[in-house]
Structure 1
Amino acid sequence: MAQNLIKSGCDVTVWNRTKSKCDPLINLGANYQSSPKEVAANCDVTFAMVADPESAIDVACGKNGVASGMGPGKGYVDISTVDGATSKLINEHIKATGALFLEAPVSGSKKPAEDAQLIFLKAVAPLLDIMGKSRFYFGEVGNGAAMKLLVNMIRGSMMASFSEGILLSKKVGLDPNGLIEVLSQSAISAPMYSHKGPLMVKSLYPTEAPLKHQQKDIRLALALAESVSQSTPVAAAANELFKVAKSYGLGDADSSAVIEALKAKSFSRLDSA
């Protein structure tokens, strides 16, 4: 996303908790600052993409956080996947400085980000258009976060079911690649199946969307469902499967590595995870 902003001619300043991750962007012409506070102080609009609610709050509201460098005329856009309560808390801190806050979680992983094909779930106008292909507005702060959690909950449930289908096709003597081809031409066709399926058949899981983040998103979606007394048994089962995969040390692998939790796992072990 930052590369696309740089390529479009934007004046980009970057920061990361691991400075070496900024080096490729600095080599492309980005400036570097030593803290979120300094980034915000030197930029009109600051974007944040971090892993979880705790990190989002720390980057925005912690010591040397973004809020410390904000003020009237500036804007803060959080494109992380967090829960609504986190978005609302960050919004309060940012607005208290006189700046503007926008939650804009994205749907898409590494390749869509590189190709500027992300889907932004709230609008901040031309800068989002540089990084993505579409944007949606859902009203008050918290709604964008909720929509992203729903999308990722469904995605995780689909991946769990897809994994079962691949393994079952093998067990009954069918070519799993044939299953993928049939799915690609069926009413339930999804780019995820045709993109990740052939790699899953070969037990290859190059990381695009880390498994640990997928499980985090399902967990947050389940908490959202619990808050409104909505039953989500399919997502709950998928969450348990992703938890088992994490216990195998697959948290940093792609979310498609969840299939490994099914290969040698009994239902009794899964149910007790």
Structure 2
Amino acid sequence: MARNLLKSGLFADVVVWNRSSAKCEELVKEGAKTAATPAEVVKQCDITFAVLADPSAALEVVFGAHGVLEGMSASKGYVDMSTVDESTSQKIAEAITAKGGRFLEAPVSGSKQPAINGQLIILAAGDQGLFEEALPAFSKMGKKSLFLGAVGAGARMKLVVNSVMGCMMGTLCEGMSLADKAGLAQGDLLEVLGLGAMACPMFAQKGPTIQAHNYPAAFPLKHQQKDLRLALELGEKLGQPLPQAAAANAKYVEAMDLGHGDSDFAAVHEAICKK
């Protein structure tokens, strides 16, 4: 995402920081400037984009020592593109606006390859003026940017989307395992699925990795499990039963226990196909 901002040539400076500093090195070689802390990034930039692994990381970067709040001042924008729960997003929004800043949550739908290709779907909510100012950057990171309303709507939409995705992957892995046990070729199953109403890019992309039991991480399984957990918490809060998501989540937890947390989320297959 940062590389696409650099390549666009639209921005005078792209300043980067990462909790693992070595991850910034290639971007610096390509023209980015580096900062020592999140506070320094915010001080140097009109708009800061954050993409972090989970709620605890998102909160630490904002509220921790030399964090975002230390550099925040009037009119600066903070766009959190992490996938977090609504309460985390609300807490960050309140802190940013209390310092005079503007806040937008903007989690993305899409994994590694869409990020590389600038084809993410951006699910934004919060300060609409900041959304409009961020659109030139969003247009280089994604193929579609939606403004969904007040803070919390973006977080909820992302959890709903990833809940559906996690369940679909679990169902595909069950079908692949059942076909195998039934003496059917898994490739034939994938062909049938691809020709009918259930055809979808995810099945086409992930089917061969499931067949090969080889799961290079485009979207780590541990993050899919985190999103299912947060979706289940949202469902409980709203009184909406999510039995399919609960069953899927149990299998992702099992796959993590088998050591597949850093593998692609298709590795849930290993928890489903066990003899």
Q: Structure 2 length as normaliser, TM-score?
A: 0.95
Q: Give runs of aligned pairs for residues 1-273 of structure 1, distance below 5 A.
A: 1-9=1-9, 10=11, 11-122=13-124, 123=131, 124-264=134-274
- Mapped to 1, the partners of 2:218 and 2:85 lie a distance apart of 22
Q: Report SS of the residue matched to 1:92.
A: helix
**What does residue 269 of structure 1 align with?**
none
- Mapped to 2, the partners of 1:142 and 1:264 lie a distance apart of 39
Q: Report SS of the residue matched to 1:82.
A: coil
- Mapped to 1, the partners of 2:157 and 2:21 lie a distance apart of 32
Structure 2 unaligned regions, length at least 5: 125-130
- Mapped to 2, the partners of 1:15 and 1:183 lie a distance apart of 43
What are the superposed Cα offsets for residues 9-35 of structure 1, whole Å, 9 maximum, x if unpaired? 122110011110111111111000011
Task: Supply the AA of the counterpart residue of 1:217.
Answer: D
Does the 8 Å CA contact 2:174/2:273 hold for their aligned counterparts?
A: no
The CA deviation at 1:173 is 1.5
Q: Alpha carbon RMSD of aligned pairs, Å? A: 0.9
- Mapped to 2, the partners of 1:171 and 1:73 lie a distance apart of 60
The CA deviation at 1:263 is 2.0
Task: Supply the AA of the counterpart residue of 1:242.
Answer: Y
- Runs of at least 4 residues of structure 1 off by over 3 A? none
The CA deviation at 1:254 is 0.4
The CA deviation at 1:171 is 1.1
Range with bigger deviation, 226-235 or 177-186:
177-186
The CA deviation at 1:49 is 0.5
- Mapped to 2, the partners of 1:199 and 1:3 lie a distance apart of 27
The CA deviation at 1:73 is 2.4
Task: Supply the AA of the counterpart residue of 2:162.
Answer: N
Q: Report SS of the residue matched to 2:79.
A: strand
Q: Report SS of the residue matched to 2:147.
A: coil
- Mapped to 2, the partners of 1:245 and 1:190 lie a distance apart of 24
Structure 1 unaligned regions, length at least 5: 266-273
The CA deviation at 1:55 is 0.6
Task: Supply the AA of the counterpart residue of 1:78.
Answer: D
What are the superposed Cα offsets for residues 51-81 of structure 1, whole Å, 9 maximum, x if unpaired? 1111101111222111111112210000000
What are the superposed Cα offsets for residues 184-205 of structure 1, whole Å, 9 maximum, x if unpaired? 1211211110011111101110
Q: Structure 1 length as normaliser, TM-score?
A: 0.95
- Mapped to 1, the partners of 2:90 and 2:227 lie a distance apart of 17
- Mapped to 1, the partners of 2:238 and 2:209 lie a distance apart of 38
What are the superposed Cα offsets for residues 93-132 of structure 1, whole Å, 9 maximum, x if unpaired? 1111111100000000000000000000114311111100
- Mapped to 1, the partners of 2:135 and 2:246 lie a distance apart of 36
**What does residue 128 of structure 2 align with?**
none
Task: Supply the AA of the counterpart residue of 2:253.
Answer: K
**What does residue 127 of structure 2 align with?**
none
- Mapped to 2, the partners of 1:24 and 1:190 lie a distance apart of 34
- Mapped to 2, the partners of 1:172 and 1:89 lie a distance apart of 51
